[in-house]
Amino acid sequence: MDHTPVANWITEAASAAEKQGSGDLLRVVLIVMFFGCVLTALFLLRGYRQKDD
């Protein structure tokens, strides 16, 4: 496996972002944030559910 220096990886990522634009990356980040918020809310609110025993 090739080991790339961090500075080289960052410059390659920056040049790729200039060519591609931030649209796809932004879309993925927003989708992941949305589903993360929903799952976090479900997990936290699950404890507040009232049980009718």
Consecutive 10-residue runs of the chain (53 residues): their mean pLDDT? 63 69 82 95 83 61
50 belongs to a structural domain: yes
Instruction: Please check whether residue 25 is in contact with residue 17, taking contact to mean a CB–CB distance below 8 angstroms.
Output: yes
41 belongs to a structural domain: yes
13 belongs to a structural domain: no
15 belongs to a structural domain: no
What does 1-53 look like in DSSP terms, one character per residue?
A: -----HHHHHHHHHHHHHHH-SHHHHHHHHHHHHHHHHHHHHHHHHTTPPP--
| Structure tokens, 21 | 């634009």
47 belongs to a structural domain: yes
- Can you give the residue range of the structural domain that contains 32? 21-53
How many domains does the structure of the chain reveal? 1
Q: What is the DSSP letter of 50?
A: P
27 belongs to a structural domain: yes
